[in-house]
Structure 1
Amino acid sequence: MTRIALVVSDVDGTLLTKDKILTEDAKAAVHGLHEAGIGFTVVSSRPTIGMGFLVAPLAITQPIGAFNGSSIVDPQLKPLEQHLIPAATAKRSVDLLRDYGVDIWLFTNDRWLTRNPDGEYTAHEQHTIKHDPTIVPDFAPYLDQACKIVGASSDAALLQRCEKEMQQVVGHDAIAVRSQTYYLDVTPPGHDKGTFVAAIAKRLGVALENVATIGDMQNDLPMFAKSGVSFAMGNASDDVKARATNVTESNANDGFARAMETVLQFR
């Protein structure tokens, strides 16, 4: 395997367990990267407000990617580069999600907005991002501030159908892809986890062939395509595994840490 100079990791389903725990093995693996002089950062579909808890335990000093990489923030979560969904596209997205009957969330840079405080995944998201939602009667006043719009539903088949229709509805004006089987994310056009990887590699002067990425979902595929080495988690679907250069253990078995052991063998 090529010598790795930078690792970029997904968060949920990859760095964290199903219960959103950062294990001691994962922490130790990242500190091993630091000791070996290998850069490390994270990129996630999470909002900016849901990333800060990782900075201190992982000693992250590089910029972080939020909203699937469409926002880049420093380790203090101050925006370095931020993009928004066009307001008209945000409205079309909200309207389609409403038609499908799924819960709708709208994220600005610093707030999580919902019309339904008792939504199916609201408590789960509160636990995940360690932040409470702001309840609003209408999304209309915020459509020009949307960093991400999410449709949430436990009906995976319905959300998959919605994903396909959403991609047609937004066209080139946004990116629509599931970050979990139960979350459909709509994010700004032209920016994804792959563009984030390219931006960070350029910032550090690292060739893309010397970058390793690791993830578990379809929204991780753009960064797999950009990096010289990629790891799919054992809990990833077969189509995601097929697009990675390596497959590690699941996030229930510290697959992230096992993948970093492989990276460190080629330092």
Structure 2
Amino acid sequence: MIKMIAIDIDGTLVNGEKVMTERVKGTIKEAMRRGIKIVLCTGRPPAGIKPYADELGFETGEDYIIAQNGAYIIRTDTKEVVYKKTLSLPEVQELYEFGKGFAAGTLLVTEFHYYSLEDEITEPMWEDAKLVNMEITILDPKEMTEEMNFMKILYIGEESDVDVIESAVPDRIRDNYYVVRSQKYLVEVMAKDTNKGIALTKLAERLGIPIEEVMALGDGENDYEMIQAAGLGVVMSNGTDNLKSIANEITLSNEEDGVAHAIEKWAFTE
């Protein structure tokens, strides 16, 4: 019996226009009415999740979001921060030093703000900030402080430029951080042992829900650990081949209301 469903946003919950269709919204609300806990679990910061959480009525009950690829768990009605994991200043400095000299830009992400560590704010930075409702400014690397609570660092730019920096990430960084290509235009680097799967497991434990009774829905590489951790890992048909290789089930694409199809087929029929 499915008691909790974790749903990625981009490429999963929403279609290519970043819209949650009426069928998807209606099916999720029906799941909530039936007592199934719905959790939005995404690489987005809280500001980028809020419009969809509001559409689903998350402000009125004990609902949760997992933001920043698992670095942040928030209870939406009380704003309680259930879990937070940040990068230390020496870690941020190490990642900044590595990123210097590449065509892809370096972007720092805090709970509420984007900071470009370049001399400019590039078009990919502007586009991503706009997508997730974050303000963005230029920050002199010398002005970085521990108190800024950096959640992750993004290497962001044209796909070909991100290909180059992704292939250059050394083993010492891959071994000591969580590195993931979550979108074609960016690579994310976060604190070690930070991912959606770990956060989902923590939240399930908090709520007393066995992980075997959790469904997870996703499409991208940053969903890998979440799909792996859940009792029922469902991947969108538009998902990556790597993600599909570990799926328990494949649903329709995000352009075909795949989330609604999955919930109706595997959560409502038990």
For normalisation by structure 1, the TM-score amounts to 0.90
| Structure 1 residues not aligned, in runs of 5+ | none
Equivalent of residue 247 in structure 2, options 240, 244, 248: 244
SS of the residue 1:12 aligns to: helix
**Letter of the structure 2 residue corresponding to residue 148 of structure 1:** K
Q: Note if 1:139 corresponds to 2:137.
A: no
Q: Deviations over 1:98-149 (max 9, x none)?
A: 332102210112211124654131332233112321232x133225331111
CA RMSD of aligned residues (A): 2.0
How far has the Cα of 1:179 moved from its partner? 1.1
Q: 1:186 to 1:44 in 2, by over 3 A?
A: same
Task: Please give the secondary structure, in 1, of the residue aligned with 2:73.
Answer: strand
Identify the residue that residue 17 of structure 1 maps to in structure 2: 15
Q: Could you say which residue in structure 2 is the equivalent of 1:113? A: 115
Structure 1 residues 117 and 13: alpha-carbon distance in aligned structure 2, compared to 1, 3 A threshold: farther
1:49 is displaced (CA, Å) by 2.5
What letter matches 1:149 in structure 2?
I
1:73 aligns with 2:74: yes
Q: CA deviation at 1:88?
A: 2.0
Corresponding residue for residue 58 of structure 1: 56
1:89–1:170: 8 Å Cα contact kept in structure 2? no
Task: Output the CA distance in 2 between the equivalents of 1:13 and 1:179.
Answer: 11
1:35 equivalent in alignment to 2:33: yes
| Per-residue deviation, residues 43-99 of structure 1 (Å, max 9, x unmatched) | 111122322222221123322111111111121555222111122221222222233
**How far apart are the structure 2 equivalents of 1:230 and 1:125?**
27
Residues 114, 129 of structure 2: 8 Å contact kept: no
Q: In the alignment, residue 227 of structure 1 is paired with which amino acid?
A: A
In structure 2, the CA distance between the partners of 1:251 and 1:167, relative to structure 1 (3 Å rule), is farther
Share of identical aligned residues, percent? 24
- Alignment-mate amino acid for residue 210 of structure 1: E
Gaps of 5+ in 2: none
Contact 1:93-1:166 at 8 Å conserved across structures: no
Q: Is the 8 A contact 2:110 2:151 kept in 1?
A: yes
Equivalent residues of 2:104, 2:165 under 8 A apart: no
Task: Tell me, in whole angstroms, the C-alpha distance in 1 between the residues paired with 2:170 and 2:262.
Answer: 33
Residue matched to 1:151: 155
* TM, length-normalised to structure 2: 0.89
Q: Distance in 2 between matches of 1:244 and 1:63?
A: 24
